Amino acid sequence: MAVTLATGAVKTKREGNFGYLVPALLLIALFFIVPVFMLLMRSVLEPQFGLQNYATLLGSTTYLRVFLNTFIVAGVVTIVSIVIGYPVAWLLAIMPERWSRLLLAIIILSMWTNLLARTYAWMVLLQRTGVINKTLMGLGLIDQPLALVNNLVGVTIGMTYIMLPFVILPLMGVIRSIDPAILRAAALCGATKMQCLVRVLLPLSLPGIAAGALMVFVMSLGYFVTPALLGGTSNMMLAELVAQFVQSLVNWGMGGAAALVLLVVTLAIYAVQLKYFKTAGGS
């Protein structure tokens, strides 16, 4: 009798907990599953039923070049963001709390600034008659203005600036959670500063690096405004291609196919990352 009552209580508790999940599940279904399903249907039904949109997309060297360029840009932005963001996060983690809060507030404030305004600001700074080129020429470092816009350089600079907070914030949290006594113990055992960094700090902060890199890479894959304004036609990314299909060509079938291919590839990368770090953590 007691076992039956206990089982009934557990079932009732589970049913009650499931009720709290219903709003979240409805939200996911309404704003994610339904739109993705509609894209899937349009990609196989327009202009006629079949997989011809996917065949055209994956069989054309032009579209494959856009895919390749998208992953190259996302990879470069991710690497540059990690290289710049790691020392900044480490500095914020070890600074006095007063200065750390001030710099963190400045970084967060940059995230709240309008994306279009920030991108146009970089266009002004990077153009041939912009502040950067004028400064370099005034210092005598260059004779002619550098081409910093309408190419991969401009896209990388603009996107790295936008993505840096998404690397700094998770890294700072992970580095702050590392016990300083571990680094002192390594130094007492004869480790140099570089050895403490490479063999102690970097491995312990690897989860933060992975989280920041994954976030930046996935967000960069679908970025549109910054590559469209700072990049050229030779550096078109997939988001621009989808916009061109939908807005200029009114071809929802190809646009849906391109968006779904990007979604599948992104989820596959995410699954591989989760599996890798799960294995690494388990070993």
The domain ranges of the chain are 1-45, 60-282
pLDDT at 63: 82
Q: Average pLDDT of 20-30?
A: 83
Give the torsion sign (CA, 216, 219, 222, 224). Answer: negative
Q: Please say if the pLDDT value at position 48 is more than 90.
A: no
Q: Average pLDDT of 36-61?
A: 80
Give the three-class secondary structure for 71.
helix
Q: Average pLDDT of 148-154?
A: 84
Read off the tokens for 127.
């153009």
* Distance between CA atoms of residues 199 and 143, nearest Å: 44
Give the three-class secondary structure for 167.
helix
Considering the chain, what percentage of its residues have pLDDT values greater than 90?
A: 4
Give the other-Cβ count within 10 Å of 39's Cβ: 19
- pLDDT 10s digits, 105-138: 888 888 888 888 888 888 888 888 888 888 888 8
Q: What is the CA radius of gyration of the chain?
A: 24
Closest CA to 32 of 265, 259, 282: 259
- Tell me 127's DSSP state: S
Q: Please say if the pLDDT value at position 200 is more than 80.
A: yes
Read off the tokens for 71.
């992953």
* Distance between CA atoms of residues 148 and 122, nearest Å: 10
How many angstroms separate the Cα of 149 from the Cα of each of 74, 233, 272, 279?
17, 12, 34, 42
* Distance between CA atoms of residues 192 and 224, nearest Å: 44
Closest CA to 217 of 182, 265, 184, 259: 265
Please report which residue ranges of the chain form alpha helices under DSSP H: 2-28, 34-45, 52-59, 61-94, 97-112, 115-126, 131-138, 152-177, 180-188, 193-196, 202-204, 206-221, 225-230, 238-243, 252-282
pLDDT at 278: 52
Read off the tokens for 99.
């200065």
Assign residue 237 a region (left: φ > 0; alpha: ψ between -120 and 50; beta: otherwise). beta
Q: Which CATH architecture has domain 60-282?
A: Orthogonal Bundle (1.10)
Give the three-class secondary structure for 191.
coil
Q: Please say if the pLDDT value at position 82 is more than 90.
A: yes
Q: Average pLDDT of 226-246?
A: 80
* Distance between CA atoms of residues 102 and 108, nearest Å: 10
Q: Average pLDDT of 94-110?
A: 85
Read off the tokens for 184.
């002192």
Residue 167 near residue 89, CB atoms below 8 Å: yes
Lowest mean pLDDT among 2-16, 185-199, 214-228: 2-16
Instruction: Print burial letters for 182-202: b (CB count within 10 Å at least 16), e (below 16).
Output: ebeebeeeebeeeebbeebbe
